[in-house]
Amino acid sequence: CIIENFLDFKMGEIWQEIVTELDMESVKLVAPDGEAVDTILRATEERGLGMKTK
């Protein structure tokens, strides 16, 4: 099941790295972009938690 969701997990990892890089550069996202990133990261986390319970 992990293999089936590999791309989702990888995308979440990449987005987390992007957010970390932006924070290190003191770049602030505009509100719509921040909301989009939060949604992506939350969805990835929820999917990961769903995998734990299976």
Exposure class string for 11-37: b at 16+ Cβ within 10 A, else e: ebeeeeeebeeeeeeeeeeeeeeeeeb
In a domain, 1, yes or no: no
What residue numbers bound the domain in which 45 lies? 6-53
40 is a domain residue: yes
pLDDT 10s digits, 8-45: 889 989 999 999 999 999 999 999 999 999 999 999 88
Write the burial class of residue 8 (CB in 10 Å: 0-12 exposed, 13-18 middle, 19+ buried): middle
pLDDT of residue 41: 93
Q: What is the pTM of this model?
A: 0.74
Cβ pair 19, 37 in contact under 8 A: yes
- How many distinct structural domains can be found in the chain? 1
Question: Which pLDDT belongs to residue 51?
Answer: 65
